[in-house]
Chain A
């Protein structure tokens, strides 16, 4: 089984609909992240959470919200989807650690299309 699982893997929906993307992890990491990937733009950070009670906005949080339901679960919501939110979305986790930087571990992504 994958260490970082995203559901659904693909979703097509209409403008104005509420969408929730879910992420769960079995790595026991404290830190979780949501990114979106657009062609030619790399990955951009939407929200991140360093523990269950900690939520932080990233570079492009407008139009999105998140919920950290447990250490292992971090969901991303689009309250009213719009076409320019069509993208590939990734969840990632990392160990908080001390001192040296810990790499992030990524799920396989959710491809979201908004018509």
Chain B
């Protein structure tokens, strides 16, 4: 069975400061991991994905995530937050058979001026 835990339901940062959104996963097989972002009244957009290639994955809009097998973590980071980054972020895991995705409960990122 696979599962994912997003450690913070809300994260607040100031514009220009670093962003860290934390995600731990559990998977019986070699996992594939994704981060999605959801802006208000919109569907989910893929930010980045890890599929057993490089452990440091770069995504869109300056985001990146590092896969750490020993810590079963896949945290999302960005060096400098922008107001447009305010949204809900979902960490997602799937096993190597890629049948279905399992979503975390989401982290709401709030960015203040």
- Report the minimal beta-carbon distance from B102 to chain A, rounded to whole angstroms: 8
List B contacts of A48 (CB < 8 A): 100
Tell me the nearest residue of chain B to A109, going by C-beta.
B43
Q: Which of these binds chain B: A12-20, A60-68, A70-78, A100-108?
A: A100-108
Decide: A4 and B90 in contact? CB cutoff 8 A: no
Indicate which residue in A42, A92, A101, A108 contacts B104 across the interface (CB closer than 8 Å).
Answer: A42
- Find out whether the CB atom of B49 lies under 8 angstroms from the CB atom of A42: no
Tell me, in angstroms, the Cα distance from A54 to B9 when the chains sit together: 36
B101 lies within 8 A of A104 (CB): yes
Number of interface residues of B (CB under 8 A): 21
The reply to whether the CB of B105 lies closer than 8 angstroms to some CB of chain A is yes
**A107, closest chain B residue (CB):** B43
Q: A43 an interface residue at 8 Å Cβ cutoff?
A: yes
Q: Which residues of A contact B (CB under 8 A)?
A: 4, 33, 40-45, 48, 58, 90, 92, 100-109
Other than the known A40-B9, A101-B94, A106-B36, what 6 A-B pairs have Cβ atoms closer than 8 Å? A40-B105, A42-B103, A42-B104, A106-B43, A106-B45, A109-B42
